[in-house]
Structures are given as C-alpha cells and as structure tokens.
Amino acid sequence: MRLNPERARLLRDRERGQERHHPLAMQPGTRKHREIRFSKMRPGQVEEASRLLQGLDGLIVEAGSLPNGISVWYEISEYTMEGLEAALVDQGFHLENTLYCKMIRALVHYCEDTQLRNMRQPERLIKKSHEVYSKAWEHHPHGDHDDTPVDLREEK
C-alpha cells in the first residue's frame, strides 16, 4: 500500500497514541480525542486558543481537521470537553454555533458526564445482588406460600 500524506498522518498519530477519531465515534477507555471549533467570524482565535491550551499539563493540542478548529487529546479524569469549552468561552473565545456543532457538543458532554459518573460508582457485586433478589422473593407473597399453621391444615 502506497504511503500518502493522510496515511502517514494516521500512522504518526497512532504511534503517538493520538488517533484522530470523529467526535461522535465511540472512543473506549479514558483517553479522548476531540475537536474544538471556533466561529469563523473572529479570525485568530484558533492560534490564540492553541497557545493557551498548550500550557495545560496532560493536554495535547494540534491543528484541527478544519481551519477553524483545534484537536485536543486528554484523559477524561483530568479534563472534559465541557470544561475546556467553558474555560475558552470565559476567556472571550467564540465557538462555532451551528446546529450541527451544538448537537455534537451536547452529545459529547452527555457521554463524558455519564462516563465520569460511572467511573465514580463502586462496582456491583453480581453474586450479592442475586442473593438480595432471592431473599426478596422468599418474603414476597406468592401462590406457593401458605400462611396457615401446619396443625390447622386439612389433610385429604
């Protein structure tokens, strides 16, 4: 297979552990790759935001797939997309405001929030939960249980 610039970029990113996934693509694990897109109406935001974010530990910042975006790689336990975007907006940056970008951002924020919540929950013990349901069934009134004392039951 011939090596073209796109394939070379993919191989380089894979070697660095920085594979470029689409923001909606499933990304198992805690290492995330996201793209932050800025409004096209305000030139110079991409370079300024890139310089600002490169100063953060554990965050890798590179040029995005589009001229008005930057790609970021981070551990979800350290950063979230919602937190990064909120910090940029607080600094006066304007994010792309199309319906498509709003929907992707909302979905990414929800997924990361859910993953963080799940990471904080203790693991359920499957065997213990089975015992709980078994005990609940024993105490639940159902058709095969007779409350009549044995000595008062009629024998046929």
Q: Check residue 147 and give its pLDDT.
A: 72
Picking from 6, 99, 102, 91, the residue whose alpha carbon sits closest to that of residue 51 is: 91
Kindly list the domain boundaries of the chain, sorted by start residue. 5-122
Give pTM, 2 decimals.
0.65
What is residue 156's predicted lDDT score, i.e. its pLDDT? 56
pLDDT at 24: 55
What local confidence, expressed as pLDDT, does residue 95 receive? 95
Residues in the chain, pLDDT under 50: none
Q: What topology is assigned to 5-122 in CATH?
A: Alpha-Beta Plaits (3.30.70)
> Could you tell me which of 66, 59, 58 has the C-alpha nearest to residue 22?
66
pLDDT for res 83? 95
Residues near 142 by beta carbon (within 8 Å), at least 6 away in sequence: none
The pLDDT score that the predictor gives to residue 135 is 75
